[in-house]
Structures are given as structure tokens and as C-alpha cells.
Amino acid sequence: MSKPVLYSYFRSSSAWRVRIALAYKGIDYEYRPVHLVKDGGQQNMEEYMILNPMAQVPTLIIDGITLTQSVPIIEYLDETRPQNKLLPEDPAQRAKVRAIAEMINSGIQPLQNLRVLNKLLILYTYLPLLAIEKVLQHTAGRFCVGDQLTLADVCLIPQIYGANRFKVDMSEFPTICKVNEELEKMDAVKAADAFIQPDCPEELRKK
């Protein structure tokens, strides 16, 4: 079976999530960068849009199929690679994880992408983070829901970077910050870091 191929942009939060999931599950893959600015946005090139008609990253080719949209990709990986589960077996816990993931996926991430930068970004990042903070005060252990890494954590990590990038005052979100500190210790999270990816510009690369 051929090695999975991930089309990614180093700073894309959606692609970042999938990199974390792949690393956490120990799945080796080929990284193919898609620069979202260069050449008018390489995601808009015809050959890429054949793979992903939405002209977005990530796109994952695995098991002979082409997958798009980060959350369904991660759920597919969880269903087909049961090691290091990202969704709890318990239905109630699974629903909590999905709810937090969707709060991030729908409430923050679309407002931190390149299409809407500088359009009330801080305001629309702050308010969803405030809601997530209140939820995590009831669900968090080491991570978003208890002490096991889940889909909710995978979605959260890139948005924390985005909040810091746009100078959101994170001192107002102590539970989120505590969870993020635990996440940053994990090997899978370190392996997926935007600033060690092949397409990260040298001037931004972590040494």
C-alpha cells in the first residue's frame, strides 16, 4: 500500500490538526506543500482543485481515497487506525469532545484564515475562546475532556497559536492555557508544529 500523502500549508490550522493526528497515531506520510499566498495561491491551481474543489488545505490521500476537511479526515483516521483513539468510546464523552471541536472549527478557525484577516479578527477570536473557556472549566483534566488527548485538543492547538499571533490577551483564559501547556509537552504536537514543516520559511523556522 502506498504511503499517505498530505497536502498542507505549514501555518494552516486545519492542516495542523491533521498533522497532529497523523503523528499521534504514528502514521508515516509524504508532505506536499500548498502555499496559500505564492503564485496567487497554489490552492487555486487547476491540478490542485481536481483534488480539492474547495481550494483549501488539507487534502489527504490515503487507502486509495482522497479526503478533505480536517475533522472528517481525523474521524476517518480514528475509525480506521484504532491506536491512540482521539474520540472516546463513551457516547456522552464523545459528544462533549465533538462539541468543543466544533466550537473551534466553526467559531474560531474560519475567522483566523487568510480570507478574513484584519476583519474584526481579535473580537471574533476572543468571544469564542471565552465560551470554550467556560466549557473547559467543567470538562477539562489534563486536556480538554479529561486526561486523554482527543479531537477537541487537536482542534484547539492551532487556534492558540492564532490567538497569540493576533495578540489576544490569553491571561483571561486560564483553563485553556493550562490545557495548552500540557499539549505542548506531547511528541505528536511537537512533530506537527507549523514551524518545523518543510514549507516553513527559513526565517520563521524553529532552530
Same domain membership, residue 184 and residue 110? yes
Does any domain span residue 202?
A: no
> What mean pLDDT comes out for the span 179-188?
98
Check if the beta carbon of residue 4 is closer than 8 Å to that of residue 62: yes
With a pLDDT cut of 70, the percent of the chain lying above it is: 92
- Of 28, 59, 83, the position where a domain reaches its end is 83
Determine the pLDDT at residue 105.
86
* Mean pLDDT computed over 137-154: 98
Question: pLDDT for 72-85, tens place per residue?
Answer: 999 999 999 999 99
Residue 10 lies in a domain: yes
Choose the final residue of a domain: 38, 63, 83.
Answer: 83
The total number of structural domains in the chain stands at 2
Q: Are residues 103 and 25 in the same domain?
A: no
30 and 108 housed in the same domain:
no
Same-domain check for residues 176 and 130:
yes
Which residues fall within 8 angstroms of residue 6, CB to CB, at 6 or more apart?
15, 18, 19, 22, 29, 30, 31, 32, 58, 59, 60
Kindly state whether residue 165 falls inside one of the protein's structural domains: yes
- The answer to whether 159 and 112 have CB atoms below 8 angstroms apart is yes
Which secondary-structure segment (H or E) carries 6? strand 5-8
For residue 110, pLDDT over 60 is answered with: no
Of 53, 83, 113, which residue constitutes the final position of a domain? 83
Identify the band that residue 69 occupies on the pLDDT scale cut at 50, 70 and 90. Answer: very high
Are residues 102 and 78 part of one domain? no
CATH number at residue 22: 3.40.30.10
Is residue 207 included in any domain, yes or no? no
Q: Does pTM top 0.95 for this prediction?
A: no
* Residue 137 neighbours by CB under 8 Å, 6+ apart: 175
96 and 182 in a common domain: yes
Distance of CA 118 to the CA centre of its chain: 21
Is the same domain home to 60 and 102?
no
Q: Would you say residue 174 lies in a domain?
A: yes
Cα–Cα distances (Å) from 71 to 22, 188, 207, in that order, read 13, 17, 30
pLDDT reported for residue 107: 67
Q: Which residue has the higher pLDDT, 115 or 40?
A: 40
Whether residues 176 and 104 share a domain: the answer is: yes
195 lies in some domain:
no
- pLDDT the model gives residue 77: 98
Query: Which CATH number do you get for residue 162?
Result: 1.20.1050.10
Q: Is the same domain home to 144 and 175?
A: yes
Residue 132 is part of which domain span? 91-189
Indicate if 146 and 183 belong to the same structural domain: yes
Domain assignment present for 31: yes
